[in-house]
Structure 1
Amino acid sequence: MNRSKLARWLAAMAITASATSHAFAIEVMVVQVAPMRGLEAKQGQGYAAGMRLAFDAANRKSGVNGHTFALATEDDGSRPESTVEQTRKLLIEKRPLVLAGYFGSQNLRELLATRLLEQQRMALVGYRTTDIAPAHAQLFNVRADIPSELAKLTSQLSTVGISKLGLLYEAGPGSDAIVAAADQAAAQAKVRFVTRASYTGSSRGANTSISEAVQVFTKSTPQAIILVANGAPTAAFIEAYRVSGGTAQLFAYSGADIEQLSQRLGEDHLKGVVISQVTPNPYKSTSRLQREFTEAASQHKPKEPKSYLMMEGYIAGRVIVEAVQRQGRTPTREGTIATLNAMSDYDLGDYLIGFGGGERNGSKFVELSIVNGSGKVQQ
């Protein structure tokens, strides 16, 4: 074969290879149903923005194995029945490979009760609840669990000599598990909960409102109160408790969301509040994960400001991209579940993800942040 024929043959083979490769390429659809409007809208929006950062970064590199990524979102108004309804609709309309970024304890419980995940052979990657989610085979969270946060908070309080604690938590089917986890963490740290109060998260399973909870804590005067509540009730409690003259130190779990609290509370109320965080600080660039997150945000320029929620969404997006990468040319729903279950070694840069051995919470990372006099995070 002369040189000109060889060149034409090589060119033809390259075109054939390219066409074959693209024939296997798909658009990986990810679906999120979460609060996108109303009091908790910042949660769904921030998480979605983080996932898009991860997907856009992959797409700019021509995807993975030729596959690109897209995210479809729908608002559920924080209503569990809407979570189920909108998920059903998007499963038909979008035919996603995976679900991601869901919010709410009752929302997740009602979704699981439908058995849609089993029927659709679908993984759900990344979610936030104010109780301890069940160890479901198709749930994969990218953050530490609430017992790990409670252990970190009680240990810190013990270290500084605070031993008499209060606990605020959401009333509902999962509240007994939260109380049990808190008591276990307290026992290990050699502190104790002298007062507990729950608040009404919805019209279901209610028993004590925020205002009544404030009265409970102002009467019992614990040295510190741990708040296992999301942004809106945490903000409402802090404001009402401070106005009532409450002086206990306030420690919130990560779901309270520092950025939301900063928007809703004045500096006088927010100053000194400690919040456990389950992702690295999104405002720093110390680790590889933080640097890549910052670079992705600078290139994509999302409408939402950087936040811990966005960082968590970004991590969830990176885990989904990695799961598709590991499957090669033909990612499937079943293959995604199997790949996630086998994922025990994914290092994003000082942030390890692993679901081996049936682990449903892929990370053990927990650190504490304190809000300073200007309402900003101070490590």
Structure 2
Amino acid sequence: MLKHCSLRRMVVAAAGSLVIGGGLVAQCASAQIIVGQTAGFTGAVAATVKEATDGAKLYIDSVNAKGGVNGQKIEHVMLDDKFDPKLAAANARTLITEKGAVALFLTRGTPHNEQIIPVLDELKVPLVGPSTGAMLLHEPIRRNVFNVRSTYQREAEKAVSLLGSIGITSIGVLHVDDTFGADALVGIKAGFEGAKLKPVFLGKYDRSKPDFAQLSLDVRNTSPQAVMVVGSGTHVVDALKAIRATGSRAQLVTLSNNASGGFVKALGENARGTIITQVFPNERSIASPLIKEILALAKAKNVTEVSPAMVEGYTTAKVLVEGLRRAGKDPSGEKVRAALEGIRGYDLGGLEVGYSASDHTGLDFVDLSIINKDGKFTR
């Protein structure tokens, strides 16, 4: 499918043909199905993005090693949006119009995906497994968005419910002041209502220029037993450092968007005891067919550590590839979208996912983990 080769890629391939005869045709034809990803490969969420992408690559590489999809190899094209919503939307357009992507996946960030949606609708290309649990991607139903993971609202509600059930009744909340923070706050409030509690502290911070100095003092002055911090990557790390610097020993709770080994390393000595919600099975549980499959492929590739973020990337890639398979030999954006909407009860490995014209929700799995003294997620 040479029609998917952009001028830039043809020039690169032509350069390669100076070394290997016929390189232009061989290199273009080898990437017959193009899928795109825009995410913050640099910036606040880089560690988690890398791990999710590594998980996706693990599955896509295994598919390509077996001949690809319907006899065609998959090329995964990635663009760095530096965790900037406007750049994410621009990258989405580039991936579709210039790179020839028939689907996008693992796009990161709530406001980022919000700006990507109009691009998808205009160009009629689906997005599989946005790496966010924002409710705005679920309700109202988005024609070109097919969610895989559970929602932030469900995660947040369960986290507060758990804290209340174990006797932690003094809870503070600190959230980013954007659509992600506002969305999670809905679930947090539902959790407080269910537990018949009220937050002792409710603060917000600017996503572009976070300042945790005063907020950390507010946390200290209200003396909460636990603080739920809704934010991404380095912001949560910086928030916890500021809170600890005031002498507060409050329990930290955050959401699954931070469920990565990179996040644990960034927390350093503050990692132990941190609670993180999870939206996929335990990454070390061989009782889960999905995890057993991932671990086997990881071992074959000499990958020694599998993180929750890798599981999300792998699972999302698995759903995407199933859509490509069902779309047939010459997939277009519209064909892939229709194929995804026709999936019913697809077994991912102990978890089933399905869609319809009125349901693009995906999975409803939520669990909780705590980081142990070895820096591992335990459940």
TM-score after normalising by structure 2: 0.84
Alignment of 1:267-282 (within 5 A): 267=269, 269-282=270-283
CA distance in 2, matches of 1:36, 1:169: 23
CA distance in 1, matches of 2:133, 2:235: 11
Structure 1 equivalent of residue 131 of structure 2: 128
Structure 1 equivalent of residue 7 of structure 2: none
* Equivalent AA in structure 2 for residue 221 of structure 1: S
Matched, 1:375 2:375: yes
CA distance in 2, matches of 1:214, 1:336: 47
Structure 2 equivalent of residue 7 of structure 1: none
> Aligned with 1:293: secondary structure?
helix
**What's the CA shift for 1:100?**
0.8
CA distance in 2, matches of 1:360, 1:248: 38
Alignment of 1:111-150 (within 5 A): 111-112=116-117, 115-129=118-132, 131-134=134-137, 135-150=141-156
- The C-alpha deviation readout for 1:235-281, integer Å capped at 9, x for no partner, is 111111112111222111111234123211223x2211111111122
- The C-alpha deviation readout for 1:7-51, integer Å capped at 9, x for no partner, is xxxxxxxxxxxxxxxxxx982211011112234222322222111
CA distance in 2, matches of 1:73, 1:196: 37
Matched, 1:201 2:189: no
Q: Aligned to 2:255, which of 244, 253, 256?
A: 253
- Aligned-residue sequence identity (percent) comes to 28
**What's the CA shift for 1:131?**
4.9
Aligned length: 348
Structure 2 equivalent of residue 37 of structure 1: 42
Deviates more, 1:237-246 or 1:309-318: 237-246
Deviates more, 1:129-138 or 1:61-70: 129-138
**What's the CA shift for 1:320?**
0.8
Structure 1 equivalent of residue 111 of structure 2: 106
Residue ranges of structure 2 left out of the alignment (5+ in a row): 1-29
Structure 2 equivalent of residue 238 of structure 1: 240
Structure 2 equivalent of residue 74 of structure 1: 79
The answer on whether the counterparts of 1:147 and 1:185 sit within 8 Å (CA) in structure 2 is no
Look at both structures and tell me which one has the larger radius of gyration over its CA atoms. 1
CA distance in 2, matches of 1:26, 1:81: 28
**What's the CA shift for 1:96?**
0.8
Q: Structure 1 pair 71/356, CA: closer, same or farther in 2 (3 Å)?
A: same
- The C-alpha deviation readout for 1:125-182, integer Å capped at 9, x for no partner, is 1223485434422112211100110122122112212223211211024544432322
* Equivalent AA in structure 1 for residue 122 of structure 2: Q
Residue ranges of structure 1 left out of the alignment (5+ in a row): 1-24
Task: Give the RMSD, CA atoms, in angstroms.
Answer: 2.4
- The C-alpha deviation readout for 1:333-355, integer Å capped at 9, x for no partner, is 11222222232311212222233
> Aligned with 1:133: secondary structure?
helix
The answer on whether the counterparts of 2:32 and 2:73 sit within 8 Å (CA) in structure 1 is yes
* Equivalent AA in structure 2 for residue 143 of structure 1: R
The answer on whether the counterparts of 1:154 and 1:191 sit within 8 Å (CA) in structure 2 is no
CA distance in 2, matches of 1:26, 1:374: 41
Q: Structure 1 pair 172/121, CA: closer, same or farther in 2 (3 Å)?
A: same
Structure 1 equivalent of residue 296 of structure 2: 295
Structure 2 equivalent of residue 285 of structure 1: 286
* Equivalent AA in structure 2 for residue 375 of structure 1: G
Structure 2 equivalent of residue 323 of structure 1: 323
- The C-alpha deviation readout for 1:272-323, integer Å capped at 9, x for no partner, is 1111111122233221101111122223446x95321111111111001111
* Equivalent AA in structure 2 for residue 46 of structure 1: E
Structure 1 equivalent of residue 341 of structure 2: 341
Q: Structure 1 pair 78/317, CA: closer, same or farther in 2 (3 Å)?
A: same
CA distance in 1, matches of 2:128, 2:366: 19
CA distance in 1, matches of 2:46, 2:183: 27
**What's the CA shift for 1:199?**
1.5
* Equivalent AA in structure 2 for residue 93 of structure 1: E
